[in-house]
Structure 1
Amino acid sequence: MTSRPRRPSPRLASALRPPRFTGRLHDARTATAVGRWLGLAFAVCFVTGLLSHYLQQPPDWLADHLPARPTWGYRLTQGLHVATGLAAIVLLLVKLWAVYPRLFVWPPVRSVRHTLERLSVAVLVAAAVFQVLSGLLNIAEWYPWPFSFVPVHFAVAWIAAGSVLLHIVVKAPEIRTHWSRRSTGTLGLPAEDVHDRRSLLIGMGAAVGAVTLTTVGQSFTPLKTFDLLAPRHPDHGTQGLPVNRTAAAAGVAARDLGAWRLEVTGPRPYTLTLDALRALPLARVRLPIACVEGWSVLAEWDGVRVRDLVARAGGRPGHSALRVTSLEVSGSYRVTEMGATYADDPLTLLALALNGRTLSLDHGFPARMIAPNRPGVLQTKWVHRLEVL
């Protein structure tokens, strides 16, 4: 006697059945409306991210031609980069909410073209999520991964940009159909969807506005009163400026600075004590210091013009680059290079004082670099050696 095969229980059958989505806003019109703003945010992030990367790590052919003006250039572009990156987190979440039912389409692939389309979307989503989350953790200076953030973030940015362009090309007919507001009526969508969609978009805009208002004050100081969620406040820190890397973290101790000397190498090398450096003609400049994490502050700096130090060592005005070495024990930016345009700019100083007071140890005592339109990680602290190249 043979037994009949047992049918799966109703509960198991229900669990195996592909989910059904009845919400009307999980549609192409909503995805297109959100995608316009998300695409704009990604475009701004990509362009400003390229500027930041090439200012930090310029190729040899570009290093001596990077512009030192406008003085607030990096402050603006990096502030935009971080602000739009934070806004993109909200936009990306809404976009994924609008399209996630398509992840459960059955069958999962219907043709070769459909397979390639789904693979491209998978790459796009993975790259986009990685970029916004890794950028957020970088702002908080938390790195729970084994790789170096800068080169990986830069490489994935190109993958994300290429995926976005491919997605736009593949979805161009659908995007065109749903781009304008008039498409709602022509497509015969229910009238009540218009109000629901408008409410969703208004809520999304309010969330983006709230995130921006409570974080952008770290770089746009007129709004610093509302700087509640950003990890840095422009007024909090030693001498009125935030500090990313303290002297203790860099392995620099005050007791080791008693015999400090500034070494300047070149055709005519020389050495200066701190008193001898202070005895040279000093200049005062008002420049922002802008960090890659998004915060920036305008401050007054007193020090010796770098081009005067370069000229004394036999460097050629406007043609001599500079290698700057810090006292810090280790770090990716312990040794940095400054192109000829920066080194010759009259606003570029080897700073000795900040806001009228001698530099604190955390701000780079006894001497640090300050230059216009330059990332904060390259404004080297605890300088002890300058090499005229």
Structure 2
Amino acid sequence: MEDMKVPSVPPPLRPSFSGRLHDARTAVSVGRLLGAAIAICFVTGVVSHYLQHPPGWAVDALPSRPVWGYRVSQGLHVASGIAAIPLLFVKLWVVYPRLFVWPPVRSIRHALERVSVAVLVGAAGFELFSGLLNTVQWYPWPFSFVPVHFAVAWLLAGGLLLHLAVKWPKTRSYWGRRSEGTVKLAAEGDAADRRSLLRGLAAAVGAVTLTTVGQSFTPLKRFDLLAPRHPDHGPQSLPVNRTAAAAGVTSALRSMAGWRLEVVGPRPFQLGLDELRALPQHEVELPIACVEGWSKNAHWSGVRIRDLLERAGAPAGARLRAVSLEQHGAYRVMEMGSDYAHDPLTLLALRLNGQVLSADHGFPARIIAPNRPGVLQTKWVARLEVL
């Protein structure tokens, strides 16, 4: 009887890869750029989140200066996030052969590497593309964007740190031009192809940045072709995110003849629009900077908030709550710390660029303060409360 041979089990069908540049040096070169973009996006995103939703202990610690702080921070956040999208695609193209290695787990270090890659790819894809959709205010999901986006950002940061930790022994070999692994790969003749890939990647990143960053960096606004906002397009030459119609205040604005600002404090009072206009008016040059990434300087005039607080008998260091005519919306009630409330640049604005506020910009009165997210520059103000 012939010996029976047990047939060998073939490995699972996997893609085969014959392309070049799927090597460690290229992966490290692209990874450094992607890591830098993600780091900038993460840090500026944390700044943005805590300016919009400060914890109780930080309310009075947040500074109102520099006046352009939030504009620069949020502009960098959106610009670095958009720039990271082509970087992520190229990084995945370079490393995707390694996603199909067999066996899938070879050691504890390899298992940690695979976990970190799964977290990185999933979290980075979610953060970049949900953030991109946020810039056009499109939310095709059932959850609240802000808390989920913020939570996944920390997941992405943790995945990145884990990936760097488990990959560093190998990454170090390809980090510099004179590193051992880099010298070995250079001898194999792929350096020219790698340079071409990186030049093409730089061109792609430059193109998406140039055609979007003008929405916040106004010297480049003439190239603002792909951004959802142009800094000059909108009522009174200033964009708006939420119109009076979208906020549901158009019916209330039709009866503005009876509008009175209510100021609640130790010495409460009310003022009509003509009475507000009769008070000392102050002029400031401040930007509106939106979480979606666009921003622009504008000329505002109105009554200083600190003058209204003083008239209401507010104690030193008092906070302020502003309530809008808007009946619904996450930001219809806004609170600001004492540093903002007592800053001489913080106004209850009545005019914009020399004209009476339009309905979409917050007529009859709105808040404008330095170094403040646009969603907290409350429009259609009905009541101010001393806290």
- CA 1:207–1:262 in 2, change beyond 3 Å: closer, same or farther? same
Equivalent of 1:202, from 199, 204, 226?
199
* CA shift for structure 1 position 185: 5.4
Counterpart Cα distance in 2 of 1:60 and 1:178: 46
- Asked if the contact 2:173/2:182 (under 8 Å) is kept, the reply is no
> Are 2:280 and 1:281 equivalent residues in the alignment?
yes
> Are 2:214 and 1:217 equivalent residues in the alignment?
yes
Counterpart Cα distance in 2 of 1:185 and 1:242: 49
Q: How does 1:307-322 map to 2 (within 5 A)?
A: 307-317=306-316, 319-322=317-320
- CA 1:344–1:193 in 2, change beyond 3 Å: closer, same or farther? same
* CA shift for structure 1 position 189: 4.6
> Are 2:249 and 1:249 equivalent residues in the alignment?
no
* 1:194-239 alpha-carbon deviations (Å, 9 max, x no partner): 0000000000000000011000100000000000000000000000
> Are 2:49 and 1:50 equivalent residues in the alignment?
no
Task: Look up the match of 2:365.
Answer: 367
Task: Look up the match of 1:327.
Answer: 325
* Structure 2 counterpart of 1:337, one-letter code: E
Q: What fraction of aligned residue pairs are identical, expressed as a percent? A: 70
* CA shift for structure 1 position 316: 2.0
Counterpart Cα distance in 1 of 2:118 and 2:347: 48
Task: Look up the match of 1:60.
Answer: 56
* CA shift for structure 1 position 191: 4.2
Counterpart Cα distance in 2 of 1:37 and 1:364: 42
* CA shift for structure 1 position 375: 0.3
Counterpart Cα distance in 2 of 1:256 and 1:142: 32
Counterpart Cα distance in 1 of 2:363 and 2:42: 36
> Aligned pairs, how many?
376
> Are 2:375 and 1:377 equivalent residues in the alignment?
yes
- Asked if the contact 2:265/2:314 (under 8 Å) is kept, the reply is yes
* 1:72-108 alpha-carbon deviations (Å, 9 max, x no partner): 0100010000000000011111111111111111222
Task: Look up the match of 1:91.
Answer: 87
Q: How does 1:1-389 map to 2 (within 5 A)?
A: 17-183=13-179, 186-253=183-250, 254-317=253-316, 319-389=317-387
SS of corresponding position for 1:292: coil
Counterpart Cα distance in 2 of 1:162 and 1:151: 17
* CA shift for structure 1 position 28: 1.1
Counterpart Cα distance in 1 of 2:255 and 2:190: 69
Counterpart Cα distance in 2 of 1:84 and 1:210: 13
SS of corresponding position for 2:142: coil
Task: Look up the match of 2:4.
Answer: none
- RMSD over aligned Cα, in angstroms? 1.5
* Structure 2 counterpart of 1:236, one-letter code: H
Counterpart Cα distance in 1 of 2:55 and 2:33: 33
- Asked if the contact 2:116/2:160 (under 8 Å) is kept, the reply is no
Counterpart Cα distance in 1 of 2:369 and 2:359: 19
* 1:329-382 alpha-carbon deviations (Å, 9 max, x no partner): 200000010100000000000000000000000000000000000000000000
SS of corresponding position for 1:346: coil
* Structure 1 counterpart of 2:138, one-letter code: W
- CA 1:107–1:185 in 2, change beyond 3 Å: closer, same or farther? closer
Counterpart Cα distance in 1 of 2:15 and 2:136: 38
* Structure 2 counterpart of 1:92, one-letter code: L
SS of corresponding position for 1:118: helix
Counterpart Cα distance in 1 of 2:347 and 2:185: 65
* Structure 2 counterpart of 1:192, one-letter code: G
- Asked if the contact 2:176/2:182 (under 8 Å) is kept, the reply is no
* Structure 2 counterpart of 1:210, one-letter code: A
SS of corresponding position for 1:208: helix
Counterpart Cα distance in 2 of 1:236 and 1:250: 20
* CA shift for structure 1 position 120: 2.1
* Structure 1 counterpart of 2:38, one-letter code: F
Give TM-score scaled by structure 2 length.
Answer: 0.95
Structure 1 runs not aligned, ≥5 long? 1-6, 8-12
SS of corresponding position for 2:106: coil
* CA shift for structure 1 position 248: 0.3
* Structure 2 counterpart of 1:93, one-letter code: F
